[in-house]
Amino acid sequence: MVPSLRGWYEKYAAEGLVIIGNHYPEFGYESDLENLKKAVEELEITYPVAQDNKGETWRAYGTRYWPTLFLIDKLGHLRYSHIGEGGYNQTEAAIRALLDNSIEK
C-alpha cells in the first residue's frame, strides 16, 4: 500500500490531495517514536504520519483491519473506504473524482 500512497501523493498533491498516515501500533516496539521515524525514513514516506498509540483515531473511524484507507472530502465527510491491499485502480479513480469535484469551474 505504501508505494501506491507515495505515488498518489506525488501525483496529486499539487491538485489538493493530502495524505496523512495514521500509525496505530500492532506490537509494542511499534509504539516507540524512534522506531516509527526509522520506518518512515526506510519506506521513503514523504507525507505526514501521525502516531496513534492509544488508537483514538483508529476507533473514531471504526477501523478494524490493517490496512484501511479512507478518503475524506474538504468538508470532512467520509467519501470512500477500502480495507486491505488491492483495489488500487478503484481507489485512484475515487481520488480523481473527489479532486475533480473540488475544482471550481
The band of 101, judged by pLDDT with boundaries at 50, 70 and 90, is confident
pLDDT at 46: 92
The band of 102, judged by pLDDT with boundaries at 50, 70 and 90, is low
Contacts of 22 (CB under 8 A, 6+ apart): 49, 50, 52, 57, 58
pLDDT of 33-61, one tens digit each? 999 999 999 999 999 999 999 999 999 99
pLDDT of 7-40, one tens digit each? 999 999 999 999 999 999 999 999 999 999 999 9
Place of cell 498533491: 13
Domain spanning 2-102: which CATH class is it, in words?
Answer: alpha beta
Is residue 57 within 8 A of residue 78, CB to CB? The reply is no
Mean pLDDT of the chain: 92
